Every structure is written in C-alpha cells, then in structure tokens.
Amino acid sequence: MREATPMDVTPQQTAQALGAGTQIVDVREADELGDGVIPGARHIPLGELRSRLGELDPAVPVIAVCRSGRRSGAAADQLAAAGFSADTMAGGMLAWQAAGLPTA
C-alpha cells in the first residue's frame, strides 16, 4: 500500500492495468451503466464506497472510473485515505469510449 496522492491515468493505461490484475471500480450510479461498462469492472456507486471497501483487495491497486472523471477523483481520494493504492481514469467512460476501448 502507498501513501501517495492518486494520479490520473489514461484509458489506455487503465486497459493495460486491467490486464495486469488491477481492480477497476466503476463509481457511477446504476442508471448510468447502460451507457457501457469496462469489462471486468466492479460497480460500487460513490455513495456506497466507504461502506463496501471490504469487497476490494487492499493489496491490489485500484483505478476508479466514472462518467467524466470528477467522481472517480473523489473515489480515488477515499480509497487512498483507506490505505489503497488508488488512481483515477482521466476523462472517465467518455474518454474510454472515445478511445474505442471495449465496453460490456
């Protein structure tokens, strides 16, 4: 675990990190998921994150994702404060889809 400020990572870096075993946490609300989800991402709405930290492995890095990147920054800050190695995907799902990366 690290005690560092979460960083912005690109959608391409997120895709590579997912392939390497990083936990991807989608913090959007359930009604936003119809716009597409990163395959393999875990859905935990931002408002539930603090109470659901036990669902995540603190030994594995996390990248938080939302629609545009604002909520995921707050999520990454919460995760880092709880001892996780956490970053945020810059631009959120809008950037992921603009990059032509796959969604489920």
Residue 69: which CATH number? Answer: 3.40.250.10
Q: Is residue 103 in a domain?
A: no
Q: Is residue 42 in a domain?
A: yes
Q: Each residue's pLDDT tens digit in the chain (104 positions)?
A: 444 678 999 999 999 999 999 999 999 999 999 999 999 999 999 999 999 999 999 999 999 999 998 999 999 999 999 999 999 999 999 999 999 999 99
Q: Is residue 104 in a domain?
A: no
Q: How many domains, the chain?
A: 1
Q: Distance (Å, rounded) from C-alpha 48 to C-alpha 51?
A: 6
Copy the structure tokens of residue 23.
Answer: 């936990």
Residue 70: which domain range? 8-98
Q: Is residue 47 in a domain?
A: yes
Whose tokens are 């959608």? That residue is: 11
Q: Distance (Å, rounded) from C-alpha 33 to C-alpha 3?
A: 31
End-to-end CA distance of the chain: 30
pLDDT score of 4: 65
Q: Is residue 33 in a domain?
A: yes
pLDDT score of 2: 46
Q: What amino acid positions are annotated as catalytic residues?
A: 66
6 φ/ψ sector (left φ>0, alpha ψ -120 to 50, else beta): beta
Whose tokens are 């190695």? That residue is: 85
pTM of the full structure: 0.93
